Every structure is written in C-alpha cells, then in structure tokens.
Structure 1
C-alpha cells in the first residue's frame, strides 16, 4: 500500500447547511463514532469522485535549506516504519474531540475534519489546532493552523503529552505507534527554548530534531544569541545531546563551537563540576578561580566545594552548604581559607599571609516550637579578612571595623510564674585593634514578674497591690584576647567567670488622680572567681619601688542595693485658630518628671596600702613621706568594683511634643490631619545632694525635628555646663555666670539626619519593598549601599526578572525616570576645654539612576567638609542585554583602587559562558 505524501497544507472546506432528517443525523453520528473507536487500514481505491483539494500551507519547509541528513525525515515512505498487519489495530484509549465551527466526516476518504478551535484528547496526549484531520484508515491525525480574516496564520497546533508541550506549525501523529512528525516546533525545557525545523517524536521521552536553535532568550524566533546544531537528541526535562554545535550572536556565527555538546535540562538539583574561570594578576600571576564540584546531597541540603589557584603558589579553599526544612528551619554555612603569597620566594618584597572566615546563619520557623528557639548568626575569622581577601570585593564590610557573632538557644517553661532560660555564645572583634571578645558561654534565666499582694479577681489598685518582684540570673565566661592568639593555649589563661543575681522590687500608684508615682529598690549579688590584691614593693623596679598586683584565684562575692522613686504627669495645652483657617489648632504636650535616688557607699569591700610620695615643690613647707591608697580587690574584675561614694541625687526631666491639626487636602476626609512640629524635645539634669562640689550635672538637650513626615527627621543633641573653667581649662566649682560668662557653657553639640527617597515617593499608591538579605548586611554593614556594596566574583550574577518585565514595553521614560538617592549628614561640635572646633563634619550619599529601560548607573561616595575631600567612592554601571548581563564596578581612588568588568549569560544553566576582567586591589598597600 502506498501512502499519500504529506504536505504542509491544510484543507479549506466550505460550510454547507445540512438538509436531512433526524434519522440520517443519528446514522451519521453513529457511523462516525464507530470509525473513530474501531478502525483499520484500508486500500485506497480509485473513484470517479473528485477529492477535496488542499491549499498549500503558508508556512512550509524549503528543502533547499534543509540539511541532506533530514531528507529521511521528510520522506514519509521511509519515515513510516509501521508494517501493515492483517489484524486491524485497535485504539488502546478513548478518543474525545471537539471544534467550535464544524466537524465533518468524509466517508469516501474515511477522514474527519475538525475546524476552528479543534481539540483531540487521546490518553495523555492532547492536540489543539485551527484544523485537525483524522485519517481513520491510517489511524493518524494531522494538525495545522488556519488563516484569519487578515490572512494571518493563527491557531497553530499545540501538542501536549504529560508535562511536555510543543508549539509547531504542523503535526502528524500516529495513534498506533504514538510517533509524530513535527514541523517548526517550539518547546521550552527548563530555562532553554528550543526550535527545530523537523522533529521526529519516537516516544514520550526521546525526540530527534534537525536544524535546531536553542537559547535561553525568551523570543526564540528573534533571539539575541542561540546555539545552532544540525542534529540533536532531546530528552525532555533531562538533556540535549548535539553533534556539531555553533554559537550565534545576533544571527552572526562566532568561532565558539564544539564537535559535540551536552546541555543538562534537569529541573531538580543535580551534582556536577563547576568550571573555573581564568585570568592573570600582577602580583600572583595567572590563576584559575571558582572551580570545584557541587553536591546535591538531598532535597533539603546541598554542598559546594570550590578553590582558586595562582601560579605563584597562592590558593583559596571554600566550602558552602545551604539547608532548609519547611516549617522547621533554614540556614547556610560557609568556610573560607586563603593562603596569600605576594611576589616570589627569595625576593625581598616576598610576603605570606593567611586569612579565614566562618559564616553560619540559622533561623527557626516560629511554628516549629512555640516554647523554644535556636538561632545563629556567625561571622568569625581573621580581623583583616575583608581587607586582604581575594576574589571578592566588599566595600561596606571593609569600612566596618566591627565583626560580631551570636549563637543562642532559648526555652520557656510555661506556668505561674513563667521561667525563661537562654544560653548563648557571642563574639566581637575589632579589625583595627585586633582585639577579640568572646563569651563562651553566656547563660541567663529569669522568673516572670510576681504580684504577691494583687487580688485574685479584678484590677490592681494602690501602692500595696501593685508591689511586684522578679528574679534574674546571668552567668558568663568572658575571654579577651588578640587575633593572633585565637585557638591557642594562651587564649584561655585570661578567661574570667562571673555570675550575677538580681531581685528588683517596685510599685506604682496614682496621687490625686493626676500624678503617677513609682518606687523601687534593687538587690544585686555578684560572684567572681578571681580577685586582685595590691601592695607596694619598695625593692621592685631595681629599688625604685612599684605597685604589685597579685591575682587571687578563688570564689568571692559582693552585694549592692539602691533605692529610687519618681513622680511625673502630663500637661496638655491647645491653641485653636479661627474657623476656615488651614491650621485649625496647635497642641503642646509637656511631661515633667522628678526623681530621687540613693546609692550607698560600700566601703567594706575596699582595702588600703601605703606608698611613699615625693615632696611637692609647690609646698616645700609640707613634708609627706607616705600616703594611704584605697583600692578594691574587685577592681578590674568581671563586674568591676562597687562604688565607695555615697550619692543622693535629685533628677529633673521635661519632655515636649508639639503637634498641629491642619485641614486635609482630601475634601472627602471627615477628620483633620495631624502634623508633628517638634518631637520629644527633652531637657534633663540632676543635682547630687551628697556631693561636696560640682553638684549640678550638665543640662542635656535632645530632640527630633520632622522635616518630611515619616521620611526625614533631624536629630540633635547638646550639652550645657553651668560651671566655669580655670586657666588650665579644668572645671572648677564656680558658676560660669559668676566667672564673667553666660549662664551655661556649650561643651558639645551634634546634629545628624538620614534620608532615602526615590521617584516612586512622588507616585500615589507606592509600596515599600522589603529589605533584601545580602552579604554586606549579614556582616554588620548597611543594606542601602550607602558606603558601597559587595561583589563576590565566585557567586553567580543574579538578575531580577520581575524588574526586567516592568520596563519591557516602555519606549521612553518622559519624566518618570527610575532613580533613588540616599543621604546621611552628620556634624559634631566640641568645646569642653575651649577648643571651639568642629570635630567632624561629613555628608555621605549613594544613588542609582536608570538612564534607559536597560541602563543603570550608581555611585556611593561622601565628602568630608572639615578636611575637604571625597571619601571612599564606588562607581557602578549595569546594562541589561536581554539574555546577557553586563556590569562594571570601579573604585577610582584610595589605596583600594580597583575595577571589574563582567559580561555573561544571565541564565544559571549557561552561567559559565562569560567574560570577566578585573584589576584587584594592591594587597601590599
């Protein structure tokens, strides 16, 4: 039997109204169902009737452009490998079909025609097209698009099987063999878009294609780049295996080609090698960076091991793991070790240094355990890690001198009273001084507040019923050491252990219904396991004598207590304006408060020793051979020494708020709008009744002035001292006004503000975005890149696809150019010893401007107004090239001058196709 040759065409059939009886209609439907569900191959006999003509498909394959190896696929005689059997084939599943225009059965051809929005479903196979032809004699189906009223080729076929979807120009599918021929197919596999001229579907897991383009570009027909292969084998959602493959950029072939290619399409994470990048460096020579292996350990955890190597012998080892368990916890762990060599061994400028860093972040879901919680935020390592680290640049962390870590576990024991227990380990180091503070461990416990005299039913009233107390405990093992002594035996020699118990007792009550009063006392007991005994040794220091300190090991303790009381109220004053005015009223709120506190002198914890003194040349008549020195054995200990000076002081404070009620611009608003004019203007001072001199403390004034509601506030603080200075600029017990000066002497003042705004602030209905987690913020820096951002050359360049789509159809920006600006201003004035100077005065700024829908420029810098000059500056440029991303980062001056240029494919599947060129910081500087 010879099969009719398949052409890229569809049959145009005119609609003719049927004139028949109900019996004929039922007969036709019954016959069509019988033909669909039970068919067999028939020999095509000659007939005198003229067959239905088919029009040529508007999208056809030009055989001149098809590779000769594809002829076998285009020849139907060779393509159909199904041999005819004497036993009629039977469909293995139910076939359902529909069409919106008409369904026509041709008994002479033994074919059925479905026109417009046609659909056939056979098992897990679904086919949609403008025109579908079912050939019952061959058990085959043909699908084509149709032309609309404008002559456009629409309703092109869509072939679906299971999770796979193909969108070709035309399809031929055999129900018996479940094989298909697909022309100009388009399919998406993971991040890869594939377009093949001719595809032969062998089964649901293997497809052979010829003249294929595959790319990560969204528009496969007009891709900015693609890979071209003459033959490929496609295993959906698993892999693409190709023969000779070439890379095209803007339809221009490039020298980049491979004799064969393998492109994984796994949707799940899989283990595999990470291809390193290469380059050269002035001080370390040629290098291979970020090469290693990725382990997909499970659905809940992974592991990445990478390394860098330089030809001068320097190397870096990195390990990173991320884990997550839904509704339980999530976190990541990172370890980095570097051995840095500068120059060559034997050269006078040769240096060697090591740096390491350990980072661990763990967070527990609040639903996992309501009564216990474990969390970790660890950033532990060398003090100079962010200054000397290779293969990364983090400006924000470089400018931050403090590195800290914390691991904590908390447990709540429900009951009455409730008990809270917390155990933690903390770390803090200073990159300038290289001093490391460790707390291993730090344990605290507390019992919730108890009201022993409160009634069992009703509210608490009066001074007795409001009496409350609680118990707090804190124990700590503290280690202070140098960065060079970490993990060495000397590190633990100076460890200090301390425990503290505290029991506060307080109450509060009303006086005349307007005054709020409170009283309280606190008892503390401190336990230490090391004290210091001091004495004077006349024979020490070669007979010159010196004070000798002996460390006494053993348990010791001291107890302290105090008493305090306060009285305060709130006073409101409102000034109303005439009706019709924009400002309707101004409200002034004052909260005066007076407090009294007693701190006894704990002389019992002090000892004395005598030491000789030299004669004072200013008083030659007075000869004093020795003096008595008072000291406490707890000085320099864990909690320090208790005070041996009795103090009885009265404190005064006044807080002010100024608000205005204005008429709302919204005519539909029923209430006026409140605006804060002055927020928390506070004045405070104290007077020590028991003091022998300088009894009055300096007057402290602080406040907040809102400039832009909820956006810009100016914070200020100042200190006013009522006492005068002598000729040596030392404070004396003389009022400044009596010494020829003003009532108060300005000793210090400061003002600062920070402001962040963007073009969206001037649009209605804008929403604030959640802050993003980043490496700079994780290590104690800022999240707004005010002092510069971070770049890790080993991490993949990510791109925000949601942001990409927002400006996709914008032709011009007009006045809505996306931009953002962050400002920080600070000024400090000092005059404590008549220096009368601005101690610091600077402004920091960081901004980003999207010049075009795919161009963005940013800068982070500052200017020192005291010593004129720009501060640390970082410039950044970025260009979105659709499927590619290009970026340039530049630090133009300072001892960390460097730049980095990167261009690469955004998709993680082809992230190794990139060009990365940079000039790193000179580590010797």
Structure 2
C-alpha cells in the first residue's frame, strides 16, 4: 500500500487537529467510489497491517451524504467498515455516543458498526427523536436507503428488538410503550408489533396488538388520541378529545374531535386555524353538545346547545387603508357555562362579539366601518344582534382653510363633521332566536348628523366655541299605542232611587306594538361654549414643612349656553306621524295629559327629547390638586397628585317656570400608596327642598329653596364612593423598597442554583419572589342617600340620611411555587362581606413528576373536582388516570339543581 501526495487530492479536509481522507491510500479495486474523509481532535493512529484508522476525541467520518460522529471511531479502509463508540470521561461515564446522519435523517446509538459498501449496519442502543417522541431500541439492524420515498429520495430503515416509545427524556424512561419488534423509518414512521404499557420498568396488563407512530416532522394527517377518559355516575364511561387532524393546504389546519360518554352525553368539536404571514391569522371553533343529566328522583333531562367562536386579525402591513377583523362568540342554552368549570367562564354574565371591516378614504378624509355586533345575556337568556351595523364619518374638515389670508383668521377655524349610521337589530330569547318571529320583529334605523363648530380665542385667556348640530333619524317601523280592551266596571247603588248604576272605571292598560311604516324625526341644537384655566400656587421655603414644598391648584371652568327647539307639537313631514302623543288621547278616562308617548320610543336610536323649547346654561368646574414633596432619599423634589379630578357640574334653564336650577353633581377620584388604592366619589346636591305632594301621593322637588328655610343652600341627597385596592408584589416593592429594587425574575433558575440535590427544598432569599404571580383585590362601595317616610308621609319631612353598603369583597388570584415540583394555582377565591359568602373558589394543586404530572382541581360551589396522574401534554398524553366528579354528579349528590 502506497501513501500518495495529499496536495494532489481535491477534497475538503475538516478543520481539526488530525484529519485526512482515504484517498491518501492506494485502494483495492472493490473500494468505494468516493473517498471517506475523517477527522479527530485528540489523536489519530493508523494500523497499516489491519488497515484501520483509529480516531479519538470528537471524531468524525463523512462519506457522500453519510456523516458519523463519536468520541472513538475505527475506520477500516480495506473492508469499508466503520465502528463507533463512546469513551469514558474524567468521571468514568460514557461520553460522545455515536451520532449517525444520512441526508435529513439522523439517530444516536450506544454502539454501532456500519459498512459503507453495503450501506448496512448493526446498532446497539439506538435513540431516534422526533418532536417529543423518543424511540429507544436494543439491538437493531440498520439499512441505509432501503425505502423508496419518491423518485429522488430514499429513506433509512431500522429493524429493532426491545424498543420503547416514550416522551420521557430520561436515559431510563419512567414510562413507555414496549415492543419486541419494531420497524423504524427515522423522521417518518414507526410500525410496532404486539406491545404493552410499561411504567418504571414494570410491565402493565395494558396491551396493544399493533400500532404505528408518525415520526414525520411538519404537518400531516393523523389520528388524535383521546386527551382524557373519565367516568361519571350520570354519564358513564367516556373518552374526550378523540378525533383526526387534517392539514388543508399550506396555511390551514383542521382538527375534528369528539367527546363521548356511554349513557348519551357527547359533544362534537371542530377547530380550524389559519395563518398567512404578513396577511392575516385566525381561528374558528364550533361545537355541538348534548348533555344528559338526572335529578335525585332519577328523572332524565337532555340539554343541547351549540357554541361558535371565530377570531380573525389582519396584519397591519397587509393593506394601508383596509382592515377586517374582530371576534365572534356565540352560544345557545348557555352550553359553556354548563360544561366548563373555570371561573372566567362560569362567572361570565354577558357574551359579546364584534366583527368589523374598516375602509379609509384619504382623499375624502372619511372612514367607513361596517360589521356585526352581538351581545348575549346569560341571566335573561336574551340575544341581541346588530347586522348590518355600518357607520360612515368624516374627519374634522376646515373648508375655508385654503382661502387666501392669514392662517390665524377666524373663518379659517370654521369646521364641520358629518356622520351617518345604518343599523338593524334583532332581539329574542336564545330558545326562539332562529325563528321567523325574530326576523319579523327586527328593527331598522338610519341616522345622520352634521356638526359645525368654530374655535375662537377671546381676550387672550378665553376659548369661545360656538357650535350647531343637526340630525335626522329614519325608522322602518313606528310604535302604535292602544288599549288592551280589558274594561273594568264597578256597580254602584244610587242612594236616592236605589237603582244599580254601572260605572266604567278603566278602559284597559295602554300597550304598544311596532308596525311597518317609514317615519322620521329631526333634531336641532345650538350652543356657545366658553372655557379657560386658572392656576394657583403656594410655596414654602427650602425643604418646606415636613417635606411639603408647595401646593398647586389648577381649575378649569366651563360655561355653555345651549338652545333646543320645542318638539312636543312637531310631526314628521314625510309620514305625518306626530313626534309625541299625550296619554289622555289614548286613554281619555285615566290618561295623564302631562305624560307623553312617542312613536319612536324604545328603538335603535331612541326618540327626540320630550322637553319644551329650551334655552339653558350649563356649567362645570374641573379641579386638579398637586403637591411638591422633598424626597430625602435621593435629594430631589417630586410632584404628587393629591386629587386627580374633582368636578362640579349643573345647569340653569331660562325657559322653565319653576325649578330652574338643576341638582349639582360632584365627581372625583384619586389614588394613594403609589397606586395601590384608588378612590372614586360621586355626590348630588339639591338647591331645592323635597316635599310630600298629597295630590300625587309622592315626594318631589318643589319651588322652596333650602336657603329660604334657613338651611345650607345645597342639601346632600346622595353620596356614593368606591375604594378599590389592587395588591401585587411589584406594587409592594415599589411602595416599600422603591422601583430600583432588584427582584428575582427567574424563580426556577434561582432554585436550581441554590439546591444541592433535586429533593432539597429551596430556601428563598427573597420571600416576595414566591408571590410574584399573586394579586389581591379589595373592593368597597357604599352610599349615603336621603330617604323619606313613605308609610306615614309628612309635608315637613325633609328626609334623613341612610347608609347602605353596596359591595365589600376581596379576591385572590395567582400561583405559588412551593418547591421545584409542587405548585398551587388559585384561579380565583374571594369572600363577599355583603352577602357573607365565598365567591366561586377554584383551586388546583400540581406535582411535577418529570414526564408525568399529578393535578387536583376543585370548584366547591359547582360541586366539581378533578384528580389525575397523566403524562405531560404531548403525543402520549392520552396515558392518564383520571378521577373526577362533574357538576351534575355533585348537584345530584347535594341536591343542587
């Protein structure tokens, strides 16, 4: 055998300390058609007698598309055989196990022999990994390129004995499906013979006659194993989440699953997800549920319902002027609240949907929005759908701005805006929503408004803004009023003649109905608004008094004079429909002539205001109070808001004969303890007295001022306040330690650094880091309201204040990592001090068992609990042991129907 000049060999030699190629040696006639390159980091020896090259330390051998890596490789360039194995490290443990790859296919092994000529080999301890599946085999036969995939690609095959399929990453898996014979095509498919479930190396009596595991990466059609199996006394044995996965094209995945219980309860579910990069993403979920339940007398009931969710989001870069997106959430028979036990779903009183498209017209400076809006009340079971629901509106347009002249000219500040809306509304209980009656009862309306305004600066400090508003509303139906025909009569005896006299005391109740017919009404208003700002400051010397360096008060008064015409006697010039009808016109016997009824009442856009011609003045004063505090910690001054907003508002009507002044409203809010606590207040003060009216048999405001009775000019009629405290670890740190305090952000990493072994309890250096994911909210609402004695009314009664507690509750949510493997999750737990009851506690405890997970969930108010020991989510997560009680089994047990 002769050594050749390596300078004449056109091969790429790996950049390692020891490298070469079999082309450096004179080969026999039956040698390989291409050279084999080799390299090693530690050392290399050549045995010319045995024709072997020994490579040590990160050794690597490459032949065409085949690559082999290991810590020790023996390459026989005479027989074309290669042997690979690991070598002991400094602690005596095997390191550098063989890694074999052929094109895009790869696996690892404990030891292997391979013939480059025949492309076959013997492998010991193979490990093939695809996604979360580990295939660990004993002695195996390896054949390279044995299976024809397509015209240009062939796949390798491993025939193995004693293989185990598992998602456990441990060298000795904690569980798996053990089979004596298996055929594995790496990265594609594994076919197994008779096999059984093995846990902790102990075989179980659970056997499978045969099976297959898809190992192909990417999307492929396949069976979805059940995610859970359960037993319920009412439902029987059942499987959950069994189905099929369908990839549809390049951008869409479809998943169809079913939950089935032997005694008749089942659900059919579809989940469709789609995505197109830089275009849109979305998902569509639909399910039909059929629930069988029993009461304590074993009476059988069936509850059926559908649930639909659609979410679509368009990418911002998809189109500059067009956007479509939103979410739909629809269900019948409140099926989600019946089947799902999470706090968020169980406590959801209203379901809302909004799916809209928006089109901007830059040249027209306008926007069109159209879509569907839906709301569903889970208490009243009423569904309201607005479709189509469209709005077209312009931006604020200044039509005279382009005229010649100074830009500060007043006419260039003249602006107008236009807006119209088209809306259709359908409303009905969920049990009858999809019927013809719902379509017949639909309401239709169109509205458009024009607003024109002008902003002027007067006397340098005052902003004067006159404005005019005009609107029109068109309805496809009008409300007709009539009597129900329930006439009531009384029989009286004439005291003189003694004859019976029949007297009609009531013509019936007034009822209304919507009848088809186009009608419209118009509204007009004009106003002049004047506003300004006033500033007040108080400063203290140096560091001030107890750190208080100064106070600042900003007051923003606003006065508006507005005019509204009289609509009481107006009528629609199109249909001749009057805007209002007096009640005595419908019920001449008992009708109130002062009460007005409108044909446009209780429709989509409402009805015109029933007031007479109005010329009024409204006022408001907004106040902001701030303080400058000296911070001794960093020697700086800070501005703190004492009261963020204290507002006073009211009005005066020049056209009224009495009670011209309206009640005065006070609103405000602020926060304390660096945002931990938020306080909101609202109060109403009345300049007039409230007195008993014997004629109407009620207490009402009268033209008697509080000042004329020697009392304070404004009397408090109502005071309401809410105090909300949101407590989190980050806010506690900010309050007591400052925002710059270093916190533990990665609790898991901190635990790993500080424990000596896996079972050692972690000692927290920062106790608060345990509660990083906790939040506590306390809400307290109360009201002082003036009440009157309605049982024994007195003209001189001016009322007395009564305190009422509207709400007082505390809620806790979060997760607590007790140890590295134990965690407690509190979905929600709270206590309502007003009703004296616990508010829907939902707790769960989780124990991490490496590749398994033990979980216990409990919702006592729904009589629900669930306990399971299951494989962690993945391909084999159908292996689990569940024990649970659904809300219906618990309801039957505790008579909670």
Tell me the TM-score range normalised by the shorter chain: 0.7 to 0.9
Partner of 1:715: 680
Given the alignment, which residue of 679, 700, 705 partners 1:730? 700
1:557-596 deviation line (CA, Å, top 9, x unaligned): 2211111222222333444444457555543332222222
Q: Do the aligned partners of residues 351 and 733 (structure 1) sit closer, same or farther apart at CA in structure 2, a change above 3 Å counting? A: farther
Partner of 2:306: 356
1:755 Cα deviation (Å)?
A: 1.5
* Aligned counterparts, 1:200-349, within 5 A: 200-203=141-144, 205-218=156-169, 220-276=170-226, 277-343=228-294, 349=299
1:216 Cα deviation (Å)?
A: 1.3
1:642 pairs with 2:608: yes
Given the alignment, which residue of 788, 802, 810 partners 1:836? 802
Q: Which region of structure 1 is more displaced relative to structure 2, 490-499 or 870-879?
A: 870-879
Partner of 1:36: 23
1:569 pairs with 2:528: no
Q: What secondary structure sits across from 2:278 in the alignment?
A: coil
Q: What secondary structure sits across from 1:907 in the alignment?
A: coil
Q: Quote the Cα distance in structure 2 between the aligned partners of 1:718 and 1:629.
A: 29
Partner of 1:651: 618
1:817 pairs with 2:775: no
Q: Which region of structure 1 is more displaced relative to structure 2, 348-357 or 680-689?
A: 348-357
1:825 Cα deviation (Å)?
A: 0.8
Q: Do the aligned partners of residues 754 and 34 (structure 1) sit closer, same or farther apart at CA in structure 2, a change above 3 Å counting? A: closer
1:869 pairs with 2:819: no
1:508 pairs with 2:459: no
1:694 Cα deviation (Å)?
A: 3.0
* Aligned counterparts, 1:578-727, within 5 A: 578-579=541-542, 584-602=549-567, 603-605=569-571, 606-608=580-582, 610=585, 631-643=597-609, 644-662=611-629, 672-709=637-674, 712-727=677-692
1:558 pairs with 2:521: yes
Contact 2:32/2:80, CA 8 A, preserved across alignment: no
Q: What secondary structure sits across from 2:570 in the alignment?
A: helix
1:729 Cα deviation (Å)?
A: 4.4
Q: Do the aligned partners of residues 436 and 28 (structure 1) sit closer, same or farther apart at CA in structure 2, a change above 3 Å counting? A: closer
Q: Quote the Cα distance in structure 2 between the aligned partners of 1:248 and 1:549.
A: 73
Partner of 1:161: 102
Given the alignment, which residue of 730, 741, 750 partners 2:721? 750
1:877-912 deviation line (CA, Å, top 9, x unaligned): 22222212222221223xx22112233112321121
**Whose strand fraction is larger, Structure 1's or Structure 2's?**
2
Q: Which region of structure 1 is more displaced relative to structure 2, 353-362 or 206-215?
A: 206-215
Q: Do the aligned partners of residues 817 and 532 (structure 1) sit closer, same or farther apart at CA in structure 2, a change above 3 Å counting? A: closer
1:4-23 deviation line (CA, Å, top 9, x unaligned): xxxxxxxxxxxxxxxxxxxx
Partner of 2:887: 921
1:810-865 deviation line (CA, Å, top 9, x unaligned): 53142342441231413131514357132422213123322122222233222222
Provide the TM-score with structure 1 as the length reference.
Answer: 0.79
Contact 1:270/1:295, CA 8 A, preserved across alignment: yes
Partner of 2:124: 183
Given the alignment, which residue of 425, 450, 472 partners 1:478? 425
5+ residue gaps, structure 1, are 1-23, 42-86, 616-624, 770-801
Q: Do the aligned partners of residues 626 and 255 (structure 1) sit closer, same or farther apart at CA in structure 2, a change above 3 Å counting? A: closer
1:883 pairs with 2:846: no
5+ residue gaps, structure 2, are 10-18, 145-154, 490-503, 572-579, 693-697, 734-738, 756-761, 788-799
Contact 1:748/1:832, CA 8 A, preserved across alignment: no
Q: Do the aligned partners of residues 590 and 34 (structure 1) sit closer, same or farther apart at CA in structure 2, a change above 3 Å counting? A: closer
Contact 1:91/1:176, CA 8 A, preserved across alignment: no
1:474 Cα deviation (Å)?
A: 0.7
Partner of 2:151: none
Q: Do the aligned partners of residues 217 and 151 (structure 1) sit closer, same or farther apart at CA in structure 2, a change above 3 Å counting? A: closer
Q: Do the aligned partners of residues 555 and 759 (structure 1) sit closer, same or farther apart at CA in structure 2, a change above 3 Å counting? A: closer
Q: Quote the Cα distance in structure 1 between the aligned partners of 2:699 and 2:474.
A: 41
Partner of 1:122: 63
1:191 Cα deviation (Å)?
A: 0.6
Q: Do the aligned partners of residues 690 and 627 (structure 1) sit closer, same or farther apart at CA in structure 2, a change above 3 Å counting? A: closer
Q: Do the aligned partners of residues 386 and 187 (structure 1) sit closer, same or farther apart at CA in structure 2, a change above 3 Å counting? A: closer
Q: Quote the Cα distance in structure 2 between the aligned partners of 1:591 and 1:889.
A: 54
1:223-265 deviation line (CA, Å, top 9, x unaligned): 3333444443221122223344343333444333435442222
Q: Quote the Cα distance in structure 2 between the aligned partners of 1:432 and 1:411.
A: 36
Q: What secondary structure sits across from 2:101 in the alignment?
A: strand
1:380 pairs with 2:345: no
Q: Quote the Cα distance in structure 2 between the aligned partners of 1:348 and 1:200.
A: 61
Q: Quote the Cα distance in structure 1 between the aligned partners of 2:700 and 2:23.
A: 109
Q: What secondary structure sits across from 2:23 in the alignment?
A: helix
Contact 2:679/2:721, CA 8 A, preserved across alignment: no
Contact 1:39/1:89, CA 8 A, preserved across alignment: no
Q: Quote the Cα distance in structure 1 between the aligned partners of 2:753 and 2:448.
A: 66
Q: What secondary structure sits across from 1:867 in the alignment?
A: coil
Partner of 2:385: 438
Q: Quote the Cα distance in structure 2 between the aligned partners of 1:525 and 1:872.
A: 48
1:395 pairs with 2:343: yes
* Aligned counterparts, 1:415-434, within 5 A: 415=363, 417-434=364-381
Give the number of equivalent residue pairs.
Answer: 806
Q: Quote the Cα distance in structure 2 between the aligned partners of 1:242 and 1:809.
A: 42
Partner of 1:112: 53
Q: Quote the Cα distance in structure 2 between the aligned partners of 1:626 and 1:329.
A: 59
1:367 pairs with 2:317: yes
1:523 Cα deviation (Å)?
A: 0.6
1:751 Cα deviation (Å)?
A: 0.6
Q: What secondary structure sits across from 1:409 in the alignment?
A: strand
Q: Do the aligned partners of residues 133 and 561 (structure 1) sit closer, same or farther apart at CA in structure 2, a change above 3 Å counting? A: same
Q: Quote the Cα distance in structure 1 between the aligned partners of 2:216 and 2:626.
A: 62
Q: Quote the Cα distance in structure 2 between the aligned partners of 1:539 and 1:245.
A: 80
Q: Do the aligned partners of residues 425 and 754 (structure 1) sit closer, same or farther apart at CA in structure 2, a change above 3 Å counting? A: farther
Q: Do the aligned partners of residues 646 and 906 (structure 1) sit closer, same or farther apart at CA in structure 2, a change above 3 Å counting? A: same
Contact 1:500/1:524, CA 8 A, preserved across alignment: yes
1:436 Cα deviation (Å)?
A: 2.2
Q: What secondary structure sits across from 2:643 in the alignment?
A: strand
* Aligned counterparts, 1:58-77, within 5 A: none
Q: Quote the Cα distance in structure 2 between the aligned partners of 1:341 and 1:30.
A: 83
1:89 pairs with 2:31: yes
Partner of 2:792: none
1:679-734 deviation line (CA, Å, top 9, x unaligned): 12222222223233333333323333222435543333333333333355433333
* Aligned counterparts, 1:482-501, within 5 A: 482-501=429-448
1:545 pairs with 2:507: yes
Structural RMSD (CA): 3.6
Q: What secondary structure sits across from 1:836 in the alignment?
A: strand
Q: Quote the Cα distance in structure 2 between the aligned partners of 1:754 and 1:325.
A: 43
Q: Quote the Cα distance in structure 1 between the aligned partners of 2:193 and 2:728.
A: 54
Q: Quote the Cα distance in structure 2 between the aligned partners of 1:98 and 1:821.
A: 58
Q: Quote the Cα distance in structure 1 between the aligned partners of 2:116 and 2:99.
A: 17
